[in-house]
Structure 1
Amino acid sequence: MKMSRFVVIATLARIPANLMCTMAGASLQEGKWKLATAISVLMVVIAFIGIKMKDKILSGQKNKQYGDARTQKKVLLSEGSSLTSRETLTSLCNSGYIIDILTSAKRPMTLFSKWKNKLIFTYNVNENPHEYLTHVSKLINSGAYEALIPTHETAWLFSEGRRYFSSENVLPVAAPASFHMVQSKISFAELADSLCIPHPRWNIVHANMAVEVSCPYWIKDEYGTAGCSVYKVSNARDKKKIADMLLAGKNRLMAQEHIEGRYGQVQAVFNKGKMLAVHTSMQRGSGAGGSAAARISVQYPEAQKYMEVLGTHLAWHGSITLDFIEKNGVPYFIECNPRMIEPANATQAGINFPELLIKISSGGELPQTILTGRSGVKTHSIMALLLGSAEKRNSRKHLMKLLFLSVMRKDFFAESTEVLTPVGKDPQSIIPLLAVFVRLLIHPQNVYSIKQNTIDNYCVFPETVNAIRRINT
């Protein structure tokens, strides 16, 4: 028998505060009275969400696939923990594909979606890279999948591990030599110099921490993801604080001039050096590590021109993303992400990067002219915004305000589409959202452990790629 959403909400609202605190790892006796208040507010938020949801959370209906499952084609995502993998799932929700997801995590974010078909548990890529590639290649070489979609640094690993696959055509990734020129922040800066691509002044940092740029500037590890291993230096005290920590690492360091301006990304897909589609977005709201948790699409020919210059020079194959700071109409490119990054804003603007990667892999029909996304399309991820708020403000009050405004579609969220946890279309996605929200309410500084646990589940270390490179040689 179907249960009314109002009965569900009323039942949730009667859960005692003490029990909720215990479930969250705290108790009223420990002085967590603020948590009890926060949980009460959470129940109100759930009520608002329940009223506005188009699908009933507990309707018991099974996920309806598009068309006949016997004739549907399957695609495989390389991991399921990153924001990119979750947004890829959102982007493919109406594509008609059956979507399976590889994961070594027990409860990745993509677990909680009606759009996935199944999770396939596999080896941890950094602990057992050979076994991971062997597992993936068996799945792909069997012919059961139309395409393999690499999300995050697995693109780099697949490039080096292409010998594992029976055909390189199934891999929408560039050659290892091309990755070598852009995966490292230092290598990309050197390439940008040679191609006259505008970027901030920079220099390699040596043991004495000597730099050639003036404060403020950024110290960056040669390799890193999600804003990790990136530190801003505003004065001598900052420099001294981070010197020992950074110089103890294995990778080279670079100092990069700080430029005040708007942060943006230009994303593209290439087919053997030919640009197929390009999309540019500017940051509206910040997530953890300064990521673009909310975006607005723009037409930016200057940024797109330099993307084409880079991709053509590299004979790039697959997806690639450039981060830039816009100042006085000029895009200064601060780093390259040689992979697909959070594609949902582009999808909302009419450019579906995951579908293009599938067509490249499967030999589908490709566009004859370069596709560009519509401008003025606003998207956001409330979960990413909550993480960014906890990192910057450390305020429970602001966390609750953000969630309330997103539910009510007020202020910042007006005319903006939720693309990470679209609860109205994909009710299960509320589970990781509320789990993160409650952890941040208990202690906003939990943002750092949430962030690190997520990164650990999707990142690929340079040492991992080097291990596969040694096997190949």
Structure 2
Amino acid sequence: MTAAPARRLRILLTEGASTSAREAVTALGLAGHHIEIMDPDVHCISRFSRFVRKVHRCPPIASHPKAYLEFALELSRTGQFDVLLPIHEQGLIFSKALHRIPEGTSIALPAYEAYSTGLDKWTFSQKMRELGMPQPQTRVIDNAADIPDPGTPFIVKRPMSTASRGVQVVKTKDDAAAARVQTGGEHGPIIIQDFIDAPLEHAQLLFDHGRFVAMHGYRQIIRGAGGGEALKESVWRLRVKTEMEKFAKALNWHGAISLDYLWKDETPYFVDCNPRLVEPMSAHFSGLDLAGLLVRISLGESPEEAPPSKTGVRTRLSLQALLGAALRHNSRIEIIREIFRFMTASGEYSDSVEELTPVWLDWMSALPCAATGLAVLVYPKTSHILPSRGWGAGLLTAESIRIIRDEIA
């Protein structure tokens, strides 16, 4: 049973459609905080929680970033919220407008230039090269037609993409041809990165103006829909901490940051950065309250360095597992088998705990998973639509990024 917090805070999340938002709701709700959400969709996944008091329907940042910002600022001016928590890439717009956040509403973000460096895959790669951090060999090209046929496998990705969307592995000439077609309709640079055959791992870190506060890591065991994890296991890599401390000090990082890396020969080869807190319930079940620490940093506190989280803790995301199984098999029988495995924590999910929709902690969290299960059983091809349905309105686009850069002061 979770103890009541020393102070019950009113927290406003900047979106409610992502898995990260859904898990932040659980972590903060268990601590007894009052949670409200902004989202263009009042039926977003985080809405279905006993911890959420209200969902504010806001303009979509994807198409109306200025209106989105003004909506958030107006809510903050009411004085009803202690903390504004950018839980996804909306942090970019708030980092540009930090001086406009009303007094009395706390937030933890780095400066706009630092946030932009973490968000853009190419500038992140350049900063890592400058700091001597390990990464696969990386270069940039200007035109999709210049994507080469592979001598050795490589990765093609856009500087701006979320949850592995826009990332393609090229191993054959057919893969290269497909990559040229899929990236040919988009403008801007294309990143080519050497392929390293190694396990994919993730780390979430908190910094207080460049000072390390906490870290949690996990490795992907089963891949789910949209590039996310269906099953993960906690790990601790000291080398990740030391490398990221260099990055955080160089950029005076303030708040949360999450990394993807390939772990090979005791070395993390960093491949992606998300300047935000990603899915904090794995850390929660591993004994580390990242969401709570981020709130404390937001309030201007300076928490002591947290001890390492427990390793070997397995957690699952049943919704991701369900959609991933439907995408892989397109078979009702296989979907039913997958549902049985994750509901009974058997097979590959043995000794794991549910982190995305923990029904025993929050009974309402079962509703989106149950509705999705029914949808893919009736029509398995629904799995190709559901992972991005309604979520794109909360993601940045090339145009919204331009507006934030050039028109918001």
TM-score bucket of the superposed structures, by smaller chain: over 0.9
Corresponding residue for residue 260 of structure 2: 323
Corresponding residue for residue 341 of structure 2: 405
- Answer whether contact 1:203 1:211 (CA < 8 A) is retained: no
How far apart in 2 are the matches of 1:409 and 1:118?
A: 33
Corresponding residue for residue 86 of structure 2: 150
Cα deviation 1:85-113 (Å, max 9, x = unaligned):
00101111221211111111131011111
Tell me, yes or no, if structure 1 residue 246 matches structure 2 residue 183: yes
Larger radius of gyration: 1
How far apart in 2 are the matches of 1:67 and 1:369?
A: 20
Corresponding residue for residue 22 of structure 2: 86
Displacement, 1:454? Answer: 4.1
Shift in CA distance, 415/432, structure 1 to aligned 2, threshold 3 Å: same
Corresponding residue for residue 379 of structure 1: 315
How far apart in 1 are the matches of 2:239 and 2:5?
A: 42
Cα deviation 1:205-257 (Å, max 9, x = unaligned):
23341559743111101111121111121111221222133132122101111
For structure 1, the residue ranges without an aligned partner over 5 or more in a row are: 1-64
Question: Aligned partner of 1:170: which letter?
Answer: S
Displacement, 1:286? Answer: 1.0
- Worse-matched range after superposition: 264-273 or 402-411: 402-411
How far apart in 1 are the matches of 2:339 and 2:181?
A: 39
Shift in CA distance, 444/196, structure 1 to aligned 2, threshold 3 Å: farther
- Answer whether contact 1:77 1:99 (CA < 8 A) is retained: yes
Question: Aligned partner of 2:356: which letter?
Answer: L
For structure 2, the residue ranges without an aligned partner over 5 or more in a row are: none
Displacement, 1:470? Answer: 2.1
Secondary structure of 1:182 counterpart: helix
Question: Aligned partner of 1:405: which letter?
Answer: R
Alignment TM-score, normalising by the size of structure 1: 0.81
1:260 to 197, 201, 218: 197
Displacement, 1:66? Answer: 6.0
What are the equivalent positions in structure 2 for 1:34-433 lying under 5 Å apart?
72-167=8-103, 170-207=106-143, 208-211=145-148, 214-364=151-301, 366-433=302-369
How far apart in 1 are the matches of 2:123 and 2:402?
A: 16
Count of aligned pairs: 406
How far apart in 2 are the matches of 1:276 and 1:223?
A: 28
Corresponding residue for residue 405 of structure 2: 469
Corresponding residue for residue 49 of structure 1: none
- Worse-matched range after superposition: 226-235 or 446-455: 446-455
How far apart in 1 are the matches of 2:372 and 2:245?
A: 38
- Answer whether contact 1:202 1:213 (CA < 8 A) is retained: no
Shift in CA distance, 213/339, structure 1 to aligned 2, threshold 3 Å: farther
Alignment TM-score, normalising by the size of structure 2: 0.93
Question: Aligned partner of 1:159: which letter?
Answer: S
Secondary structure of 1:85 counterpart: helix
- Answer whether contact 2:83 2:105 (CA < 8 A) is retained: no
Secondary structure of 1:422 counterpart: coil
Identical columns (%): 26
Secondary structure of 2:29 counterpart: coil
Q: Tell me the C-alpha RMSD between the 2 structures.
A: 2.2
Shift in CA distance, 237/103, structure 1 to aligned 2, threshold 3 Å: same
How far apart in 1 are the matches of 2:103 and 2:215?
A: 27
- Answer whether contact 2:108 2:298 (CA < 8 A) is retained: yes
How far apart in 2 are the matches of 1:444 and 1:255?
A: 34
- Answer whether contact 1:275 1:370 (CA < 8 A) is retained: no
How far apart in 1 are the matches of 2:82 and 2:369?
A: 31
How far apart in 1 are the matches of 2:170 and 2:37?
A: 40
Cα deviation 1:128-166 (Å, max 9, x = unaligned):
222221121122233211101111111112112224323
How far apart in 2 are the matches of 1:313 and 1:329?
A: 24
How far apart in 2 are the matches of 1:211 and 1:273?
A: 39
Secondary structure of 2:315 counterpart: strand
Displacement, 1:415? Answer: 2.2
Tell me, yes or no, if structure 1 residue 459 matches structure 2 residue 402: no
How far apart in 1 are the matches of 2:5 and 2:153?
A: 56
How far apart in 2 are the matches of 1:264 and 1:462?
A: 28
How far apart in 1 are the matches of 2:125 and 2:368?
A: 37
- Worse-matched range after superposition: 255-264 or 408-417: 408-417
How far apart in 2 are the matches of 1:323 and 1:437?
A: 29
Secondary structure of 2:403 counterpart: helix
How far apart in 1 are the matches of 2:235 and 2:298?
A: 28
